[in-house]
Structure 1
Amino acid sequence: MSDIKFSSEEKTLIVAKLQRYFSEELKQQIGRFDAEFLIDFISEEIGGYYYNRGVYDAQTVVAARLEDIGDQLFQLERRTDFKR
């Protein structure tokens, strides 16, 4: 798996959200450098957990769709004298 990387536009948005959270919820100011450092830390140390949860969720969706497709294919079968 490659590292979690954000574009500069994404990082700018995330930094702003983190700064706003610190200001509104924690009543503390956090500079851009510190916010970027925190984002990098979270991405490296915690990001994999969120990434894996997304992969698991995607696997569940794909498995359900494959089951639906299998059911639909079974419904397409024509009756024959052949016994399985």
Structure 2
Amino acid sequence: MSIEISKDARKQAIASIERYFRENMEEPIGNVSAGALLGYFLEEIGPLVYNKAVTDVQDRLQARVMEVDVEIHEDEFAYWRKFDRARKP
């Protein structure tokens, strides 16, 4: 599965890579090279980040599903209990 990003996000990511190289590396990187580097990261490392995010979402959803019983639980056979409580002095 290839990770696709919008044209605007790609443009911003390339600008960010160019800035990173200007401020942190000995040589700046050009627009085409930054785009190629971004493509590499999206293809090679992107799936790792994506899969981790999916796992995190699954864990959070599973935790929420486990709470459903507590949040919406109803006691069974409660009809007579309400009358029994009302009759006690």
| TM-score bracket relative to the smaller structure | 0.7 to 0.9
Higher RCO (CA-CA < 8 Å; seq separation 6+): 2
Match of 1:78 among 75, 83, 88: 75
Q: What RMSD, in angstroms, separates the aligned Cα atoms of the two structures? A: 1.5
Larger Rg: 2
Q: Say if 1:69 and 1:23 are closer, same or farther in 2 by CA, change over 3 A.
A: same
The one-character-per-residue Cα deviations of 1:5-40 (angstroms, maximum 9, x if unpaired) are 111100000001111111111132111100000011
Q: How many residues align?
A: 78
Contiguous gaps of at least 5 residues in structure 1? none
> Following the alignment from structure 2 to structure 1, what is the Cα–Cα distance between the partners of residues 27 and 62?
45
Determine the structure 1 residue equivalent to 2:33: 34
Asked if 1:47 is matched to 2:46, the reply is yes
TM-score if structure 2 supplies the norm length? 0.79
